[in-house]
A = this chain, B = another copy of it.
């Protein structure tokens, strides 16, 4: 086992917090002494102890003189719910700290490392940092751009169609792909749709996975007219307090008034989302709204499910993007592909 192996182990530990740590990142930590792991831990959920603290608390022997691995720079600031990790590492007489990513948060960024070094602790960082950034891509984006991360899901035939001209759309993709969409939902704080999708599909927008114990996501509906079908499931089910409306016109619905937010544009909506710490959102519906989000550069990741079939004519996955030159079209980067049954998912970052 070398530094790379242990950092990979911190990633695996970190992932145990998937979907639970918002707005905090996913962090795992491993403590190694005499080539043996003597403690490990991860950040379980927002407000709870950081990964390093859990790893220290789980140690089976004294961590004095050990090496601590962690995928994010230990914190050094005190204006939050937990005491700074750097102090605890110093107190425990850790000999060496190996870090994947520096914390992009300007309150930390390199200062955690500096404090450790001032106290004679040897520090390395930048080990597998690209993998670490990917693991916490939402957190890094939030910190750097100060805006919510939007993950757009699209699903179409190879020729880009999502429904027949007669409207038939169930289903383009197969059961396995649709199940994976529930998994993707579970990793986000909220699911965004347009009013058209609400009217047409009356979706539940909840996570329906066996043994799922996380929190159900917010359901966030964007509407121009404010006219939404009162009988929609998301206004009446047990999670109706987690339904949020962004509207350009008054809305007549029996929802808590703070859940109906009148906006002028997407910029205002994103300001309000940030205020509510809804920083990690999954977009699931509506070619028109999706196209608006893309045009307004509000989408950071796209996961596109392709069913290897053709419809020819029918409804397209996207509507107008107002592109006048090929070189200006939105592209995806750092792509990954994965089969889900008969469907291929391509997932990549939007530049």
Q: Are A323 and B158 in contact (CB under 8 A)?
A: no
Nearest to A310 among chain B residues (CB) is: B330
Nearest Cβ distance between residue A264 and chain B, in whole angstroms? Answer: 24
Q: Which residues of B contact A200 (CB under 8 A)?
A: none
- With A346-B158, A346-B344 as known contacts, state yes or no: A166 contacts B324, CB within 8 Å: yes
Q: Which residues of B contact A157 (CB under 8 A)?
A: 160, 329
Q: Tell me, yes or no, whether A224 is within 8 Å of chain B by CB.
A: no
Q: Are B309 and A332 in contact (CB under 8 A)?
A: yes
Nearest to A304 among chain B residues (CB) is: B158
Q: How far is the CA of A294 from the CA of B311 in the complex (A)?
A: 11
Q: Tell me, yes or no, whether A291 is within 8 Å of chain B by CB.
A: yes
> Which residues of A from 292 to 351 have beta carbons under 8 Å from B?
294, 302, 304, 306, 308-313, 316-326, 329-333, 335, 337, 342, 344, 346, 348
Q: Which residues of B contact A332 (CB under 8 A)?
A: 158, 308-309
Q: Interface majority SS on A: helix, strand, loop or mixed?
A: loop
Q: Tell me, yes or no, whether A137 is within 8 Å of chain B by CB.
A: no
Q: Tell me, yes or no, whether A172 is within 8 Å of chain B by CB.
A: yes
Cross-chain contact of A331 among B168, B291, B306, B309 (Cβ < 8 A): B309
- With A160-B161, A346-B306 as known contacts, state yes or no: A311 contacts B317, CB within 8 Å: no
In the A-B complex, the 10 residue pairs with the closest CB atoms: A160-B160, A312-B321, A308-B332, A159-B160, A309-B331, A313-B320, A159-B317, A312-B318, A159-B318, A309-B329
Additional pairs, 6, CB under 8 Å, beyond known A309-B332, A335-B344: A160-B317, A164-B326, A170-B326, A306-B306, A308-B348, A311-B323
